[in-house]
Chains A and B, each alone.
Chain A
Amino acid sequence: MAADSLGVYIHIPFCVRKCAYCSFYSSPADETVRQAYTEALCRDILSYGGRGLGCDTVYFGGGTPTALESGQLIKILEVVKTAFDMDSDAEVTLEANPDSAAPEKLEALRAAGFNRISFGVQSLDDRELSALGRLHDSKKAIVAVKNARAAGFENISCDMMLGIPHQDTASMLATARGLTGLGISHISAYMLSVEEGTPFFEQGIEVDDDRLADMYLALCEQLGSEGFEHYEISNFAKQNRRSRHNMRYWQDREYLGLGCRAHSFFEDRRFFCDEDIKTYISSVSHRLTVSEEHPDRLEEYILLGLRTSDGISFERLKELGADEERLQRIRECAVMLESHGLCRFSGSGFSLTEKGFLSSNSVIAQLELC
């Protein structure tokens, strides 16, 4: 297999405040810890140096990466460039919170090579934002996007959320229109899921699936009419503005996750760093937990490929080891799904429709059982 360049994911596990729906690993921390973590992260990154590994996407995710100072973020990016052979047109994404995105900070980061920014806006309705426990209001969010543009970011993405308490289809569509009106090129729309251990779970907040489904389809229609391509279950992009880093996940390509609790798919293994912040800072070599060795590429191709509008091709299924009999069963299943409006055939394969995306768990399970 020809050496593919990597995607590098950098995990910044800090948050100023934890949101009411979040079950992800993050914690508030003082400046000393943040600096120590930055240094540990740099050491971790450098340990991959000298191996001639290429990299064409870098993604700073969290937590809240902008909880770090711009100098710290820039330092980390410099170290990534040292350790990896980075493409000149690499996509370098930074997740940011609207409330930690001052103009000077954004300018410095842009100048240092960050070229894509993804804001966790979630909603432009203040009542919904406070229900989520976000620190920003809608005004701050709009200002943050404008500042990013002023700082030279052309590739701006915003996250929005469906199923927020108090939200209805109208307010959700108002958020979508508000965001597209700012001229952004990418939207990630996630449906709220109430996870155990979160305040939402404790409060007994429930999300009605039928209502969510209606909202989702309404959003798809709205964004489609504004020229956004619905290229993945939760992602919409203007032309050529798909998230190249996230596409790696769906295309089953390799990525290295660095930082505590970051996940990797590298050298035919899926693993993650199973350490908390304190341990991560103090360890010389990190404890990596392998979650999967030699994952079944055929099953992954179906699972991941069908999340995208590119879908899956019969040719590729065959390359990955599906025999004629299985191909035939998959084809028959797809024909059945098509008759219910859940998938559509292209010349070489098939992909899920938006209705199919909505029930993709069951659809994919059924196809994988073929």
Chain B
Amino acid sequence: MDKSKIRNFCIIAHIDHGKSTLADRILELTETVALRDMENQLLDNMDIERERGITIKARAVRLNYHADDGQDYVFNLIDTPGHVDFNYEVSRSLAACEGAILIVDASQGIEAQTLANTYLAIEHDLEVLPVVNKIDLPGADPDRACNEIENVIGIPAMDAPRISAKMGVNIREVLERIITDIPSPKGDDEAPLKALIFDSYYDPYKGVIIYCRVKEGHLKAGDTIRLMATGAEFQTVEVGFMGATDLIPVGELHAGEVGYIAASIKDIGDTRVGDTVTNAEFPCEEALPGYKKVNPMVYSGIYPADGAKYPDLRDALEKLLLNDASLSFEPETSVALGFGFRCGFLGLLHMEIIQERLEREYNLDLITTAPSVIYKVNLTDGSTVFIDNPTNYPEPALIAGAEEPVVNAHIYTPPEFVGNIMELCQDRRGTFKDMKYLDENRVDLHYILPLNEIVYDFFDALKSRTRGYASFDYELKGYEPSKLVKLDVLLNGETVDALSFIVHVDKAYARGRKIVERLKENIPRQLFEVPVQAAIGGKIIARETIKALRKDVLAKCYGGDITRKKKLLEKQKEGKKRMRQLGSVSVPQEAFMSVLKLDE
């Protein structure tokens, strides 16, 4: 088809600024979705996304638009995640587009994450089309929002469409501006095939479905394709476009178009997001530049609550990996928890989402360990080791010095919360860098923060101290020397490996104290008294005692009704089975989870 009639774009927005609502309005206006299929926020098709109001996975949809100039256009809307943890996914969506719509809330202005994603789009040479949303709200100040866009981002914004996605106001103006402002794709249909994989998922009937943007050449069913990273070759079974509710098969895909490929690919490991698809018989010379590969920043152990579910957990992680190349995992064994996986995540939200998806979509009951960052430990023999699992932290005598990752953190907030935030950052061992007024209503606070201080519950703490008004973004700055210690937790005198963690020496006592208190609350009374201790090296720094169970007896046996007793016993046995047996102490799953969020 005529490339000048194609527009490929994505939408960048802060959580709740209305990205999904605008996408829905666009779908409506282009009549891509029959009204009866219309559900609010159609593009976010995972439960978790709908509930949290955020988009986690990139998705794409093809729309037909009859423009004011009388011409018909094809729009490919590629969805992007809004959250800072998902820079990787943002960048792969951006690489498939020529333009980005930047939505800014007319009452709230630009948020930290939006800014980060906008810079990413500019880096990818995308044309940024600003849109001011929520003009229907009483507190809306579109002029101020436009000023902010010009001052903070540095792009012209005074003529930005002012819309209300919710009320459907001025949506058509946005569509017209997509045609005039965003360039059409380039590319040569006759060149060797070059298509960028920006998403994929496993379909039980068709095998792996690849979502791609064709940059050069063309592709049709029957062609043999080669995935350039692995060299694996497959015969294409079907190609097509992404409808809003279905895949629509088509004869050929051409340069400039966005579509899908089904090629009976069984092994999910073969398709890597960011890889280039080419024609095996007429291959292109070199692959497209891959995405900037991001490395996991946060690690956590994930174990099945029921040890027998280990293979299920492995399968589930492998399936998630197909859609989420930023996830990493490898097998790990814990004395306390048995067989599980050490998983690497982009950030805390990413970790939570993976855990939730494992539990909801794969029906797994999980035990996770406290998130850890990667510590750099210089040993006395001159070597350096990187530690992502507290269990492997070297003996203090072998350590010459330790370093921990720190981040440049930017917090955007109304000025009245600056005091609260500074207190929080202080408490999290932050170093104040500077404070800038974006306008009279918003401040950019810049801190250097140790990453291990924000992986626990920084988001929650920030939200509760600013009534949800502050936004937050960070990027890795590097490593800094730090006084770190490994804190162990002992139950009945035995170290529980899954509960160990690395902590700054100044915070060890307080955290140790809290952990033993939490465990005491969450471990039921046992047949005997159980001491719960926190220790550094061999030194106990905190102790609580779980009292012995005194009475647990069914005294009477009514008229020989043994069955009643047996039912009770079965229930009790089931309860015990669900617990982890650490030596002679039974520990429920909740006890492990209770130490993850200590500041609640």
Contacts and interface: CB of A to CB of B under 8 A. Distances in A.
Interface of A: 9, 11, 24, 61, 190-191, 193, 209-210, 212-213, 216, 233-234, 246, 248-249, 255, 257, 261-265, 270, 272, 291-292, 295, 299-300, 303-304, 336-337, 340, 342, 357-366, 368-369
A191 to B, nearest CB: 5
A263 B527 contact: no
Contacts of A360: 552-554
Nearest to A63: B559
Given A340-B527, A361-B572, A362-B572, A213 B551 contact: yes
Q: Max chain A CB contacts within 10 Å: which of B527, B560, B561, B563?
A: B560
Interface in B557-596: 557-563, 565-566, 568-569, 572-573, 576-577, 584
A359 B563 contact: no
A9 B559 contact: yes
9 contacts: A262-B559, A263-B558, A295-B566, A359-B551, A361-B568, A361-B569, A362-B572, A364-B569, A368-B573
Contacts of B562: 249, 263, 265, 270, 300, 303-304
Contact of B553 (A233, A263, A300, A303): A233
B549 interface: yes
A234 B556 contact: yes
Q: Max chain B CB contacts within 10 Å: which of A216, A364, A365?
A: A365
A191 B555 contact: yes
A362 B550 contact: no
Contact of A358 (B552, B561, B566, B568): B552
B553 A361 contact: yes
Q: Max chain A CB contacts within 10 Å: which of B527, B548, B568, B572?
A: B527
B552 A303 contact: no
Given A190-B556, A255-B560, A357-B553, A369 B576 contact: yes
A12 to B, nearest CB: 11
Contacts of B584: 336
Nearest to B572: A365
Contacts of B558: 24, 263
B553 A191 contact: yes
Contacts of B556: 190, 193, 234
B551 A358 contact: yes
A364 B527 CA distance: 11
A257 B559 contact: yes
Interface of B: 527-528, 548-563, 565-566, 568-569, 572-573, 576-577, 584
A33 to B, nearest CB: 20
A69 B553 CA distance: 36
Nearest to A259: B559
Nearest to A250: B557
Contacts of B563: 263, 270, 291-292
A254 to B, nearest CB: 10
Nearest to B528: A340
A337 B561 contact: no
Contacts of A191: 551, 553, 555
Contact of B550 (A265, A336, A340, A358): A358
Nearest to B573: A365
Q: Max chain A CB contacts within 10 Å: which of B550, B556, B563?
A: B550
A337 to B, nearest CB: 7
A7 B223 CA distance: 83
A190 B555 contact: yes
B565 A362 contact: no
A343 B117 CA distance: 66
B307 to A, nearest CB: 14
A9 B562 CA distance: 14
A270 B550 CA distance: 32
Contacts of A233: 553, 555
A248 to B, nearest CB: 8
Contacts of A299: 566
Nearest to B524: A362
A359 B577 contact: no
Given A342-B527, A358-B553, 19 more contacts: A11-B559, A193-B555, A210-B550, A234-B555, A246-B557, A263-B558, A263-B559, A263-B560, A263-B561, A263-B563, A264-B560, A272-B561, A299-B566, A303-B569, A336-B584, A340-B527, A358-B551, A361-B552, A362-B552
A276 to B, nearest CB: 16
B527 A337 contact: yes
B527 A9 contact: no
B572 to A, nearest CB: 4
Q: Max chain B CB contacts within 10 Å: which of A248, A292, A359?
A: A359
Given A364-B569, A366-B527, A368-B569, A210 B560 contact: no
A362 B549 contact: yes
A106 B413 CA distance: 87
Contacts of A213: 550-551
B527 A359 contact: yes
Given A257-B560, A300-B562, A363 B527 contact: yes
Nearest to A270: B563
A340 B576 CA distance: 19
Nearest to A368: B573
A301 B528 CA distance: 25
Contacts of A264: 560
B562 to A, nearest CB: 7
B550 A359 contact: yes
A295 B563 CA distance: 10
B574 to A, nearest CB: 9
Contacts of B551: 191, 209-210, 212-213, 216, 358-359
Given A191-B553, A358-B552, A359-B552, A303 B566 contact: yes
A342 B548 CA distance: 12
Contacts of A366: 527, 576
Contacts of B577: 369
Q: Max chain B CB contacts within 10 Å: which of A292, A362, A366?
A: A362
Contacts of A291: 563
B267 to A, nearest CB: 41
Nearest to A188: B556
B588 to A, nearest CB: 14
A295 B555 CA distance: 22
Given A262-B559, A263-B562, A265-B562, A365 B527 contact: no
A120 to B, nearest CB: 12
Contact of A249 (B554, B557, B566, B569): B557
B550 A249 contact: no
A369 B527 contact: no
Nearest to A366: B576
A237 B528 CA distance: 29
B560 A265 contact: yes
Nearest to B567: A291
A213 B553 CA distance: 10
A80 B376 CA distance: 84
A270 B557 CA distance: 14
